[in-house]
C-alpha cells in the first residue's frame, strides 16, 4: 500500500481565524487519559480540586489499552539480579524479594483490578510485573474516576494551549467543532508534551548524538495457544529461551527459509491473566511518534511484521499451531517523543546512582531500558540492588510557562533517564504528584512552581504515595 508522504520542501500555510464553543472553566484540567492522566486526575480530585479529564480517544488507558501494552513493569526494587526489559514471564523467574517504590493511586487501581480478576498481583513469580486485562483496566478506571467526582470528556484532541491573564485555555478539536476549556492549572499528560510544546516550553527529542528516539512497536494479542506445550518446548530447549526472550534456532530457520520479517533478534512474549493467551512485543519501526508521516508508515510496516510473526508462531513454534491474532493495538505504541525541559532535568546518571532529591514527589526502580532506535538490540542497565531513585517536583514544571505541569513519559529528563521513568507505574506516580501540585496551586491561587514541595509531599503521603521516609 502506498503512503501519502510529505512533499519535498513542504511549506506552512495560514488558516482563517475561527470561533469555538466555550466548554466552561475548571480548577484543574488534565489532558490525556493514560496512566499519567489517570494518576493526575485522581490525585487532584483527592486533594479537593474540581477536575476535568479530557482524552482524544473514546476510552481511557493510553498505551495500556490503546497500544495493548499489557503488563505494568516492575515497580519493586528487586534485591537480586534478574533478566527483564519490557517483559513479563511465562515461566517461573529468578527474581529476588523486592519492596514496592510506587504506591498511592497505582495500588488502589491494582487492588480493584485483582479483585475483578483483571490482573495478577505482583510477586516474585511474575518478576514483579503485573499482567492485566485491558478491557477491565478501562472499566476500573471509569469506576474510580466516577467515585472521585472527576468529569470526563472523550473524543477531544487538544490542539493548542493559550495563556490568558488569569487562566490557561485549551483548544480541543471535536466532532462538535472546536471547543475550549479554561482552567486555573493544566496538567499535560499527552505523553508527547503536546500542550507544553504549544505553550512554548522548550523540549528535547531523541538521543544527543543523532536525535533518534526509541522505536515504536505494534503490540498484539495471540489467543488459543497451548501454554503447557510451549513451556514443555522451553524446558527441553533451555538454550533457546532466556527469561522472556528466545526462539533463536526457530527464528534462524524461518529467516533462512525467507519466511520471517522480524526486526528484533528474538521474540518477546508477555503473559496475560488469561490462559491460552500471550501478548507479543516483537515488531519495531524507527521513526518519530509525533510525525503523522512516520506514524502512517509505522502502522503499515508493523502490520506486515505482525502478519509474518503470527504465521511464524503458527507454523513453527510448539504450542501455537492453532493460535490466532485476537487484536492489535488501536495504534502503534509510542515509546519516546518530546521530553519537556523543566526546572530540573533528571539524568541517566541520577537514575543509575539511585539519587535522592529534597523535592522528591515520586520514585522509580526500573532499569534503564533502551530499545535500539535503528536496529536490533536493547540496552538494559540496573540500579544498585535494593535501591530506587527520586523524581523531583522540578521535573514536572516546564520552563518558561506558568499554570502548566507535565507528567508521565514527557517529564524533564534526558534520553537515558526517560527509558526508566517512562514505564506505566512511574508515569502514574508522576501523574498523581502533578495532580496534587495542580490542586494546591489552584487552591492558593499561586503558580505551581510557587507551591512548596513539602506541602505536595504531605498531601501525597496522606494519599498513600510511596516517598522516602527521610523527607
Ligand atoms: C511498545 C511499548 C512497550 C512498552 N512496554 C511497557 C511495559 O511492558 N510496561 C510498562 O509499564 N510500560 C511499558 N511501556 C511504556 C509505557 O506504556 C508508557 O511510557 C506509558 O504508557 C506512558 O504513560 P503516559 O500516560 O505518559 O502516556 P500514554 O500512555 O501515551 O498516554 C497518553 C494519553 O494521552 C492521550 N493524548 C495524546 N495526545 C493527546 C491530545 N493532543 N489531546 C488529547 N489526548 C491526547 C492519548 O490518547 C493517551 O490516552 C511500553 C511502551 C511501548 C510503546
One-character DSSP codes across 243-298: TTEE-HHHHHHHHHTT----SSSSEEEEE-SSTT-EEE----B-S-TT-HHHHHHH
- Arithmetic mean of pLDDT, 29-43: 99
User: What's 18's DSSP letter?
Assistant: -
Give the whole-angstrom CA distance, residue 176 versus residue 160. 17
pLDDT for position 96: 61
Position in ligand 1 atom list of the atom nearest CA 407 = 26
Confidence of residue 258 (pLDDT cuts 50, 70, 90): very high
Least Cα distance to 204 among 461, 454, 411, 430 occurs for: 411
What are the φ and ψ backbone dihedral angles of 347, each rounded to 5 degrees?
-110, 165
Report CA torsion sign: 276, 281, 283, 288.
positive
Specify whether the CB–CB gap between 307 and 248 falls below 8 A. Answer: no
Percentage of residues in the chain with pLDDT exceeding 90?
A: 87
CA dihedral 29, 35, 40, 45 (to 10 degrees): 90
Hey, what long-range contacts does 252-256 have (CB within 8 A, 24 or more apart)? 253/316, 254/312, 254/315, 254/316
CA of 470 relative to ligand 1 center, distance in Å? 32
User: What's 59's DSSP letter?
Assistant: S
Over residues 58-94, the pLDDT tens digits come to 999 999 999 999 999 999 998 544 444 443 333 334 4
Least Cα distance to 64 among 51, 56, 74, 73 occurs for: 73
pLDDT for position 375: 85
The mean pLDDT of the chain is: 94
- Arithmetic mean of pLDDT, 381-390: 95
pLDDT for position 125: 81
Over residues 401-418, the pLDDT tens digits come to 999 999 999 999 999 999
Give the whole-angstrom CA distance, residue 362 versus residue 389. 9
At residue 420, does pLDDT exceed 80? Answer: yes
369 touches ligand 1 (CB under 6 Å): no
Q: How far is CA 437 from the centre of its chain?
A: 21
Specify whether the CB–CB gap between 250 and 317 falls below 8 A. Answer: yes
Please provide the size of the chain in residues: 471
Cell of 1: 500500500
pLDDT for position 63: 98
| Beta bridge pairs of residue 246 | 241, 267
Least Cα distance to 268 among 252, 254, 259, 279 occurs for: 279
CA of 323 relative to ligand 1 center, distance in Å? 28
Least Cα distance to 371 among 253, 282, 305, 279 occurs for: 282
- Arithmetic mean of pLDDT, 352-378: 95
CA of 226 relative to ligand 1 center, distance in Å? 30
336 touches ligand 1 (CB under 6 Å): no
Q: Are strands 51-54 and 21-31 parallel, antiparallel or unpaired?
A: parallel
Delineate the domains of the chain, giving CATH numbers in brackets. 21-90+98-208+336-462 (3.50.50.60), 220-328 (no CATH)
At residue 423, does pLDDT exceed 80? Answer: yes
Give the whole-angstrom CA distance, residue 100 versus residue 200. 36
218 touches ligand 1 (CB under 6 Å): no
Question: Which residue's CA is minimally distant from atom 17 of ligand 1?
Answer: 63
Q: How far is CA 63 from the centre of its chain?
A: 6
pLDDT for position 241: 84
248 touches ligand 1 (CB under 6 Å): no
Report CA torsion sign: 366, 110, 126, 123.
positive
Give the whole-angstrom CA distance, residue 425 versus residue 465. 12
Tally of CB atoms within 10 A around 72 = 28
Least Cα distance to 343 among 190, 448, 436 occurs for: 448
278 touches ligand 1 (CB under 6 Å): no
Over residues 126-165, the pLDDT tens digits come to 888 999 999 999 999 999 999 999 999 999 999 999 999 9
- Arithmetic mean of pLDDT, 433-450: 98
pLDDT for position 401: 97
Position in ligand 1 atom list of the atom nearest CA 87 = 8
At residue 30, does pLDDT exceed 50? Answer: yes
Give the whole-angstrom CA distance, residue 19 versus residue 38. 30
Over residues 206-242, the pLDDT tens digits come to 999 999 999 999 999 999 999 999 999 989 998 888 7
pLDDT for position 94: 47
One-character DSSP codes across 317-349: STT-TT-EEEEE-SS-B----EEE-BSS-B-HH
Specify whether the CB–CB gap between 427 and 39 falls below 8 A. Answer: yes
At residue 319, does pLDDT exceed 70? Answer: yes
Specify whether the CB–CB gap between 273 and 117 falls below 8 A. Answer: yes
Amino acid at each position: 500500500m502506498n503512503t501519502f508522504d510529505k512533499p519535498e520542501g513542504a511549506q506552512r500555510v495560514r488558516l482563517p481565524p475561527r470561533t469555538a464553543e466555550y466548554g466552561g472553566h475548571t480548577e484543574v484540567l488534565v489532558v490525556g487519559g493514560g496512566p499519567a492522566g489517570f494518576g493526575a486526575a485522581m490525585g487532584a480530585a483527592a486533594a479537593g480540586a474540581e477536575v476535568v479529564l479530557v482524552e482524544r480517544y473514546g476510552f481511557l488507558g493510553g498505551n495500556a489499552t490503546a497500544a495493548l501494552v499489557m503488563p505494568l513493569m516492575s515497580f519493586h526494587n528487586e534485591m537480586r539480579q534478574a533478566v527483564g526489559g519490557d517483559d513479563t514471564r511465562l515461566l517461573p523467574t529468578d527474581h529476588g524479594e523486592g519492596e514496592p517504590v510506587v504506591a498511592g493511586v497505582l495500588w488502589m487501581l491494582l487492588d480493584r483490578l485483582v479483585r475483578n480478576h483483571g490482573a495478577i498481583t505482583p510477586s516474585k513469580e511474575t518478576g514483579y510485573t503485573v499482567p492485566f486485562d485491558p478491557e477491565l483496566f478501562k472499566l476500573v478506571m471509569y469506576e474510580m474516576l466516577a467515585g472521585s467526582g472527576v468529569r470526563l470528556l472523550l473524543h477531544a484532541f487538544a490542539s493548542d494551549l493559550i495563556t490568558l491573564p488569569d487562566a490557561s485555555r485549551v483548544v480541543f478539536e471535536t466532532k462538535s467543532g472546536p471547543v475550549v476549556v479554561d482552567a486555573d492549572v493544566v496538567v499535560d499528560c499527552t505523553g508527547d508534551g503536546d500542550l507544553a510544546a504549544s505553550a512554548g516550553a522548550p523540549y528535547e527529542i531523541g538521543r544527543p548524538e543523532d536525535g533518534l528516539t526509541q522505536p515504536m512497536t505494534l503490540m498484539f494479542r495471540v489467543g488459543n495457544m497451548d501454554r503447557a506445550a510451549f513451556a514443555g518446548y522451553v524446558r527441553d530447549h533451555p538454550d533457546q529461551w532466556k527469561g522472556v526472550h528466545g526462539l533463536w534456532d526457530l527464528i534462524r530457520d524461518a529467516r533462512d527459509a525467507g519466511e520471517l520479517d522480524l526486526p528484533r533478534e528474538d521474540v518477546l512474549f508477555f503473559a496475560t491473566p488469561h490462559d491460552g493467551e500471550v501478548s507479543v512485543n516483537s515488531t519495531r519501526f524507527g521513526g518519530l511518534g509525533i510525525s503523522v508521516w512516520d506514524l502512517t508508515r509505522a502502522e503499515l510496516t508493523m502490520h506486515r511484521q505482525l502478519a509474518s510473526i503470527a504465521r511464524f508462531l503458527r507454523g513453527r513454534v510448539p504450542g501455537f499451531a492453532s493460535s490466532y491474532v485476537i487484536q492489535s493495538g488501536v495504534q502503534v505504541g509510542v515509546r519516546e517523543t518530546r521530553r519537556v525541559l523543566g526546572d530540573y532535568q533528571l539524568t541517566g546518571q541520577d537514575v543509575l546512582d539511585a539519587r535522592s532529591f529534597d523535592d522528591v514527589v515520586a520514585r522509580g526502580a526500573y532499569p534503564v531500558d533502551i530499545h535500539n532506535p535503528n536496529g536490533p538490540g536493547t540496552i538494559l542497565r540496573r540500579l544498585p540492588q535494593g535501591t530506587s531513585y527520586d523524581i523531583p517536583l522540578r521535573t514536572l514544571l516546564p520552563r518558561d510557562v506558568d499554570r502548566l505541569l507535565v507528567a508521565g513519559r514527557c517529564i524533564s529528563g534526558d534520553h537515558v533517564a526517560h527509558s526508566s521513568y517512562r514505564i506505566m507505574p512511574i508515569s502514574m506516580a508522576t501523574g498523581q504528584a502533578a495532580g496534587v501540585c495542580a490542586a494546591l496551586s489552584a487552591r492558593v491561587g499561586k503558580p505551581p512552581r510557587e507551591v512548596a514541595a513539602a506541602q505536595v509531599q504531605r498531601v501525597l503521603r496522606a494519599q498513600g504515595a510511596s516517598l522516602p521516609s527521610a523527607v
